[in-house]
Amino acid sequence: MARLDKVKNITGLVEWYGQDKKLRDLVNLVVVAGLLNAAQSKDREEIEEINKMHSLIDKYQLKGQIRWIKAQTDRVRNGELYRYIADTKGAFVQPALYEAFGLTVIEAMNCGLPTFATNQGGPAEIIVDGVSGFHINPMNGREAGTKIANFFQTCKEDPSYWNKVSTAGLQRIYECYTWKIYATKVLNMGSMYGFWRTLNKEERVAKQRYLQMFYNLQFRNLVKTVPRVGEQPPRIAASTSTGVVARRNEIVARPKERKPQGRVQRMMTSLLGPKPPTYEENSYR
């Protein structure tokens, strides 16, 4: 149950089913995805997947074993589809190459369906493999098909096994993925955010007080050097920050510091020799 594109890998699931004779003997396949007619779609990727679906059905002669239903936008009808499959002791398979979260996985498990989902992305965290569902590798279709077939074979030999996996899936949802749990987590995150905002504000106030204290201690003595009205300002003996040294009203320019050479300059110097001094450089010598 998904949109029909390459990432969702619905055609991959159909191919797994067509290649696994044991799985075909045990169960039928119901696919809810995309449109049935390529002429009705305007998406190039979906058109390719629709044509591939029809070719796979013909290649593996799946007529009579597969039911292809177009994608449903009615959530109520989707819920009924989940429950109908659960009533027939079926399972839900999510074969995506990658799934960010896995909403359909939670929906299926919440309806009591044993679920097989990709191990790439969110479903790997939702499902506890072998307990509340099963992980499948979307890059290894034969292994995935065998895993699904073995599950139904075990259910055929032991009918209570289906109920065991179904109950474990429901318990997993009730413990981790209900709306109440979600709302509680959101509120907790909001409270934590408010706490850190308050803490950061207090830290900013403390930092400002520290800077103010440092300013007072460091620059308070400079107030004494400020001349009063009618007084001559004190003569500064030396000033090195501006690059000029003042002694007895004489200004002596400091020699320019030699700048470090870059890699290209070093190569040119080694090839051509040192650069001859310019007039400006000679004027200070």
What structural domains does the chain harbor? Answer: 10-182 (3.40.50.2000)
pLDDT at 121: 93
DSSP class of residue 39 equals G
pLDDT at 269: 64
State the pTM of this model.
0.66
Could you tell me if 26 and 149 are in contact, meaning their C-beta atoms sit under 8 angstroms apart?
Answer: yes
3-state secondary structure of 179: helix
Tokens coding 261: 């050479």
Helices (H) and strands (E) in the chain, counts: 11, 7
Question: Among residues 101, 100, 103, 133, which one has the least CA distance to residue 117?
Answer: 133
pLDDT at 272: 58
pLDDT at 80: 92
The rounded distance, in Å, linking the Cα atoms of 143 and 149 is 10
Could you tell me if 137 and 123 are in contact, meaning their C-beta atoms sit under 8 angstroms apart?
Answer: no
pLDDT at 274: 60
What is the number of residues in the chain? 285
Cβ density class 176-186: b for 16+ within 10 Å, e for less = ebeeeeeeeee
Residue 115, phi then psi, degrees to nearest 5: -125, 135
Q: Could you read off the pLDDT tens digit of each residue along the chain, which spans 285 residues?
A: 888 999 999 999 999 999 999 999 999 999 999 999 999 999 999 999 999 999 999 999 999 999 999 988 888 888 899 999 999 999 999 999 999 999 999 999 999 999 999 999 999 999 999 999 999 999 999 999 999 999 999 999 999 999 999 999 999 999 999 888 888 888 887 776 666 666 666 777 777 787 777 777 776 677 677 777 777 766 655 444 444 444 444 444 555 555 555 655 666 666 556 655 554 444 444
In sequence order, the 6+-apart residues with CB closer than 8 A to the CB of 208 are none
DSSP class of residue 119 equals S
